[in-house]
Structure formats: structure tokens, C-alpha cells
Structure 1
């Protein structure tokens, strides 16, 4: 099988090449994101493409993939909001994903962002390097006994609930489909409105769907406690950026940690240090002293990357052998 990769970074090449020793596929790597223009670089004889979160697979792209003989679209991530599944079904292209790779990786990064924002360790690090040992401006609060609201309790949200509970917090959760395991362990599910009103800290762990798009907006922010901490390691589109900026200005939002961003496809996974960034919203967010932005790195651990590569390649192996995957959660079309 010949597989063309898009949005490729050096670490993708390293981990996929290592794991490919078990499969012996013909792997070809392209750095650009996949869109209606870059789809034309796919060579004849390619059986599958492997894509990531910022690749755009609308009907136009999928139609061109079909013309080029592509049989399989493999997502090396869990979310699939960037893929027109109806179009894939129409053109009879199988679509698979990695439904769970290392929920611990994302949950741990969420905790790291929360603790960094609260205790301001990133600022303390820079100060001490400049021989400034003052504590002024570094005051935090105890996470212990705080109420943490977790929106979305799938694989990652479930792990984060247990992780943050270990710090002695009061965890409440909201999900359209409550996790029975968490309920048995005593975790409390509440309505979204109750969660927004009660939480000192809110962490987002839900997929991006038409229903969850801009879940955090002017109205939902107005329900939150003054000074609430908000962390998003899920999808950028869950937050209305302009509304969250207003919430920061009014001090309704006490601190914001985001590993994802609405317009991240134009920014993340590349070095723009010598570039003038024209996105005024991200520039404004970066100007706030109580905002922490990381560039979609929550998944970025050795364990997660190994699992992503293994599952992705095995999904393609199963599809090529039997046109189906044992783990039905991995098979989208």
C-alpha cells in the first residue's frame, strides 16, 4: 500500500517510519496541509492519504481524491470535524481515525496549563533567569477544594476527572451521554447551566460539532463565576474568540489556557517567529498576562505518537485486507 501524508512534521516521519517496520507500506510525506490545491501533488498509484486536524477534506477535495484513485482516508487523530463524511460515503472512500491514543497525555497537559496559570511558574522562570527573585505578581490560589467543571467525559475527559479529583477538588461534569464508570465512582453529573454557575475552573473535553460550536460564548460566559479559570485542550471552535476576549477584559474570565484556537490552521505547527502575524485576535490574546497559549501540543508525548502511528497503520492494514476495522469506533465511513 502506498500512503501519502499531509501536514507532515519531522516527528511524524520519525514515529511512522519506526512503526512502519511492522507493515512495510510505501510512505510518502508532504509538508503542506491538504486542500483543493495541494491535493494535486498526490502521485498515481497512491492508495491512501493520512491527514491531521488542520487538513480540509470538503466535498471538492474528496471528489479529487476519488479521481486520483484514493481508497482510504486515515486520520491520525480522534476528531473528524474537518472531514465531509457524507461526501466520503458518496464517493465510496473509507475513512478511519484514532479514537483513543493517550488520553493521559492530553489530561496531563490540561493539568499543566491549569497549574502554570494559577501559580505563574512560566513568569517565575523568566524572572529568575533575569535575577529577579521578587514574588510580587506571582500570587496564586489553592486548587484544593475548588469546584472543577468538566465538559465532555469521553476518554480524555474521564481521565482528567480522575486526575484533577486527586488534588482534592470537587469535580462536576456535563455530557449528553454520561460515563457510567464515572457515575459508579461517585462523580456528579449536572446540567450545563449548573456547571457554568458552580465551577471555579472549567475544562473543555468535547468534540467540535454543530451543536458544540461556540459553546463558550457571551451568553454562557455571563453564567460563569467572576474570575473563573477556563482551559481548552479540545478544539478551538468550542470558544467564540471575540466573546472570550470581552470576558478577559471585563475580568469575568480570571485566566484562560488554550492549546487550540479557532484559526490555528494558519498558525500552528510552523515557525512564524520572523513573520508579521495578521491575526489580530491571537495577538490580542497573547497580550493578556493571564492567558497561556500552547500550539496544539497536548497530545505530544512519545507514548501518544507511537500509539497514533501504530493504530493508523493498522487501521489501513485492516481496511486493505477486509474493508473493515475490528474497532468500530475507528471506522467512520
Structure 2
């Protein structure tokens, strides 16, 4: 009696895997039935050798997917690079195209998750709730040093009016703020909702709070630097939940020391691949810049946490699997924003 030939499962290899990645991807894999292989290490020129008989590699924000890595992926017959995030600045798209590798991403999972985290950082820095929490636990009920300001009536500048910037504009409008926005393409929907489109220079000059929601590319790298900081208001608040390299760290440290920057909230950091998503509580951190930043009482650092909600992780898993399924079946994706190469 002949046994039926079962179809071979496609294999997806994950890098930079955290516990929650396994939980959500294994949960939703029941509808797709892929073979899943998880590595907690970062993908780079050395770890690419861990890949064996894999159709798809699934990577995150700090994985290294440069020309050398892509060449090795192609040599190992990998067909798809699936980003489980929106940003793709860490992938050499030209190299992927040269080696005929498809590259897909999750262009929108939960814009509200990131926008709400940006708002949480603003409120925390302003009203110093993190400091108040620690004080009260030590039975210190003094209000000295906890003075904040009304958000109502303040001018908030948004740089980047994609899904996250748009979600953030709705939140901050609810606080009675004057909202300015800059992007290379004017968003008419935001303008109908009372957001004023202005130049980047106007954002820098007029904003009490600046929130970054633009992608990282050659034009936006170190958008916040000595030059742009010099024309901002004194004691400006800067929030970055997008990509670390939007800010020139050494320049913002100098601005903090001078009081030019009054508040800084960062969920991302230019050298975060050596720090974030790891427990380094027993280590001596060698990065002097992040240590200096964390020494300021008016700086709030979170470790790339903005996306971290149940809804966002669910969408990331489902969209990633759907992208892979479409590419394996027809070499294309209906959602063109998800397909990079």
C-alpha cells in the first residue's frame, strides 16, 4: 500500500527572538503550519551560518541584513526576508534585488501603540510621575521638584505624518494643543482635523514639544543635531519613538547640559543593538553616551517598548505570516506597502 506524499512544510527562521515572539508566532502559526526555527541571537555575518534549509528568515529592527549577509542568504537558497516591523533601514534592498530575494515588512500593525507610548513619555516627563511613584514608596510626600506645565495651549510639532504620526496628532489634539506637522507629502486628512502643515524649520522654531515619527534614511539621519537644536525654543521637549539615529546623541547631550533641551524622551537609541532587549543589570555598560543620557533627571529612556502591546504583537504575527504565505504562493503581495523588493 502506497502512503500519500505529504507536502513539505516551508521553514521560517527567526532571529533576535524574545519569549513573546515565540508565544505570538507559535499561537498564530496554527493557521499556517510553517516549521518555525527560533534563534535569540542577532542576524549578522557570523550568525547567518546558523541557517539550514530555510525558505524565509524573519528579522527585527537591530538585525544586520547588509550585502554580505544577503549574499550568504542567497547562497543558502533563502527566498524571503520578512521584517516583523515597519522600518527597513537595516536591510540592503539593492543587494536583495540583485540576488532575487523578496523583502517584506509590516507597514502598519498598531499605530496607536506607538502614538500612545509617545504620549505617555510626554506626560511622564512633564508631570514627573515616575519620580513621584518612587518618592511615595519611600514615604516622601513632598511636591518639591515635581512642578510641571499645562499641555493645553502648547505648540506640538510632529515630524512624519504616516500612520503613527496621524494617530499621535489625534491624541495630542485632545489635550488642547496647537499641532504643527511636517512631511514631504502634506496629509489633507490631518489638515481637516485642525493640524497645520508647516516647514521643518517652523517646527523647530515654534514647537514647545517635538515628536519624531518619520523613517530613518539618508535625509533624516541626525535630523536633530547642533544646527536644528540651535533654532529651537529654550527648554524644548523632544520625543523619539521612531529610530535612534534621527538624533545626533552627542549634540543633544550638549544641549541638555546647556538647558536648551528641557526634556528628552527616547524609546530608541542609535547604538541600541548592543543594549536593548537584553538584561544587562549585572554588566558594566561600556556605552558612555547612554550612561550620560540616563544621568540627566530630565531624560526618560525606554528600551524600544512603544510597539509592545497585545494588539500590536497579534498584528505583527498575522501580517508577517500572511506576507510570507502570499510570496511563497504567488511571489507577490496585495498590500504593496508591505513589499519592499
TM-score range with shorter-chain normalisation? over 0.9
Counterpart residue number, 2:55: 47
CA contact (8 A) 2:48 2:69 kept: yes
Counterpart residue number, 2:37: 28
Which residue, out of 176, 190, 195, partners 1:187?
195
Which residue, out of 22, 32, 40, partners 1:13?
22
Q: Deviations over 1:241-281 (max 9, x none)?
A: 00000010000000000000000000000000000000000
Q: Name the SS of the counterpart of 1:308 in structure 2.
A: helix
CA contact (8 A) 2:179 2:194 kept: no
Counterpart residue number, 1:85: 93
Q: Name the SS of the counterpart of 1:148 in structure 2.
A: strand
Residue correspondence of structure 1 range 311-330 to structure 2 within 5 A: 311-330=319-338
Residue correspondence of structure 1 range 216-231 to structure 2 within 5 A: 216-231=224-239
Q: TM-score of the superposition, structure 1-length normalised?
A: 0.99
C-alpha separation between the residues in 2 aligned to 1:195 and 1:4?
A: 42
Counterpart residue number, 1:210: 218
The count of residues paired between Structure 1 and Structure 2 equals 332
CA contact (8 A) 2:12 2:58 kept: yes
Which residue, out of 89, 98, 112, partners 2:106?
98
Q: Deviations over 1:106-164 (max 9, x none)?
A: 00000000000000000000001111111000000000110000000000000001110
Q: TM-score of the superposition, structure 2-length normalised?
A: 0.97
C-alpha separation between the residues in 2 aligned to 1:64 and 1:216?
A: 35
Q: Name the SS of the counterpart of 1:106 in structure 2.
A: helix
C-alpha separation between the residues in 2 aligned to 1:242 and 1:305?
A: 33
Query: Based on CA coordinates, which of the two structures has the bigger radius of gyration?
Result: 2
Q: Name the SS of the counterpart of 1:32 in structure 2.
A: coil
Which residue, out of 166, 188, 200, partners 2:174?
166
Deviates more, 1:300-309 or 1:180-189: 180-189
The unaligned stretches of length 5 or more in structure 2 are: 1-9
Q: Name the SS of the counterpart of 1:313 in structure 2.
A: helix
Residue correspondence of structure 1 range 100-139 to structure 2 within 5 A: 100-139=108-147
Q: Name the SS of the counterpart of 2:181 in structure 1.
A: strand
C-alpha separation between the residues in 2 aligned to 1:304 and 1:53?
A: 15
